[in-house]
Amino acid sequence: MANEESGTFKEKLGNFAGKFAGSRFVRAIMDAGYSVIPFSIIGAIFLILTVLPQAFPIPGFAALYANSLGRFSNLFQVIYNASMGILALIFAGEFTYSYTKIYAHEEKLDLVPINALFMFLMGFFITVPQMIWKSGSIQLQQSLKPDNIIGGGIAVSGSGITRIAAVGIFTGLVVGWITVQVYRFTIKHNWRIKMPASVPAGVANSFSSLIPGLCVAVVIAVINLSLVLAGTDLFKVLYIPFSFISKITNTWWGFLIIIFLIHFLWWFGIHGATIMSSFYTPIILANMAANVKGANNFFAGDPLNAFVIIGGSGATLGVAIWLATRAKSAQLREIGKVEVVPAIFNINEPLLFGLPIVYNIDLFIPFIGAPLVSGLVSYFAVTLKLVPKIILQQPWPTPVGLSGFIGTASWKGAVLSVVCAIVAFLVWYPFIKRYDRRLLKQEQENAAA
């Protein structure tokens, strides 16, 4: 009976997670996350050029830098702002484009993704200016305070227009979702101007998006106006839950919950990282941008691949090396040889499904426990300022050490990355050694039989 109930739970969890991961919204979010990577790398390159003296505190280097590359530091900052300072446009814009493309393909609708993208930009910029209801009319806010510069309703900072940067990602996602749903509704109900077949496609597309675009503008404007009349606006309303969730993820227990859920799902064979990252990607991007401006958020950039799940989910880099060099079981030794190179680049499917770790109760504790321990070590190392905060996002396959260095722009980050990998292996060691002995015994018994 217990097995039947367990099987039912696994089946229900698998079905739910599978449907969620395969939902149109989540697939579009994942595409948006991938689209940010090249721009974050570009921004990282030029940000590193501005913080080289901090990254390499060598006597005399600061003076050498000031008289050479330091002369162009303002230009480097401008290029950084041109990539990381428009993250809301990039992330939410790609989300809207991908979301529209998915609907067009799966519902066989005549939706044009590039038109949806432009509608989103229009709708998003309706929410950017800060407005107030005063003296019986809508007025654009003005402020010349040093910490709150607003001209014509547009808030600016050293990074450019505030609301189109990472803090606007959550608002952008909501506007993108509304844009796609309004566009989809108008096309399904044939609310568009149809041109004769002889009219060139470019001209026809421009007219076909006229009515949907007008509907998007009206819907976003009405929503924002209603909130302005209530003394707030769409950005401020959406920023409240975004800020609240961001604060939770920056606590040690909130961070551990994320790590636990990723690995709990993975143990059932469900790609936990894909599911959880669809929730936290906007948060880590916003926190990373805030760190560059002086904040001290731990959950920023990519702390998981830099410090926690080194070698892949479960923090299995040390396990892969041990299996390849020390395992007595022929099965585990061969798996280790196959896995050791991919593990360097944080790929460990051979271990997840080859040991296996998935559904293997013998390895459940270290699979969950190792990343939790390495997560705690990295969290307190950064929050206690033993290691600099994360200001850059490294590509997830970046090897151990280098990932920590890039993320923090400091050699201390590299050391922390290696320490976390060692700590994770220490959690794994007694479990993987016992598992190796058991499989060796089985192989010997099979050989004798």
Q: Is the dihedral of CA 246, 252, 256, 257 positive or negative?
A: negative
Tokens coding 397: 């396959």
Instruction: Note the pLDDT of residue 265.
Output: 84
* Residues facing residue 139 across a β-bridge: 132
State the DSSP code for 379.
H
Q: Please report which confidence band the pLDDT of residue 401 belongs to, taking 50, 70 and 90 as the band edges.
A: very high
Q: Is the pLDDT of residue 212 over 80?
A: yes
Q: What's the CA gap between 330 and 344, in Å, rounded?
A: 22
The backbone torsions φ and ψ at residue 144, rounded to the nearest 5 degrees and listed phi first, read -115, 20
- State CA 179 to chain mean position distance: 22
Instruction: Note the pLDDT of residue 299.
Output: 93
Q: Is the pLDDT of residue 80 over 90?
A: no
Instruction: Note the pLDDT of residue 1.
Output: 46
Per the listing, tokens 């974050």 go with 40
Instruction: Note the pLDDT of residue 219.
Output: 96
Q: What's the CA gap between 340 and 118, in Å, rounded?
A: 46
3-state secondary structure of 154: strand
* Residues facing residue 157 across a β-bridge: 160
List the domain boundaries for the chain.
86-248, 250-448
Tokens coding 255: 């961070």
| Residue 136 vs residue 183, higher pLDDT | 183
Q: Please report which confidence band the pLDDT of residue 270 belongs to, taking 50, 70 and 90 as the band edges.
A: confident
Q: What's the CA gap between 392 and 389, in Å, rounded?
A: 9
Q: Is the pLDDT of residue 221 over 90?
A: yes
Q: Please report which confidence band the pLDDT of residue 272 belongs to, taking 50, 70 and 90 as the band edges.
A: confident
Where are any strands of DSSP class E within 79-220?
Answer: 131-134, 137-140, 143-145, 148-151, 154-157, 160-161
Q: What is the pLDDT of residues 141-178, one digit of tens each?
A: 988 877 678 888 898 877 778 899 888 888 999 999 99
The answer to which of 61-65, 257-261, 321-325 has the lowest mean pLDDT is: 61-65
Contacts of 55 (CB under 8 A, 6+ apart): 48, 409, 410, 411
Within 10 angstroms of residue 11's Cβ, the number of other Cβ atoms is 11
Q: b/e per residue, 402-414, with b = 16+ CB within 10 A?
A: ebbbbbbbbbbbb
Q: Please report which confidence band the pLDDT of residue 201 belongs to, taking 50, 70 and 90 as the band edges.
A: low
Q: Is the pLDDT of residue 2 over 60?
A: no
Q: What's the CA gap between 400 and 71, in Å, rounded?
A: 33
Instruction: Note the pLDDT of residue 114.
Output: 93
3-state secondary structure of 361: helix
Q: What is the pLDDT of residues 14-56, one digit of tens each?
A: 677 667 777 898 889 888 888 887 888 788 788 888 878 876 7
Q: What's the CA gap between 246 and 257, in Å, rounded?
A: 13
Contacts of 140 (CB under 8 A, 6+ apart): 129, 130, 131, 152, 153
Q: What is the radius of gyration, based on Cα positions, of the chain?
A: 25
Within 10 angstroms of residue 365's Cβ, the number of other Cβ atoms is 13
State the DSSP code for 85.
T
**Can the peptide bond before residue 356 be classed as cis, meaning omega within 30 degrees of 0?**
yes
Q: Is the pLDDT of residue 5 over 90?
A: no
Tokens coding 67: 């008289």
Tokens coding 367: 């699979």
| Residue-by-residue DSSP string for 407-441 | HHTSHHHHHHHHHHHHHHHHHHHHHHHHHHHHHHH
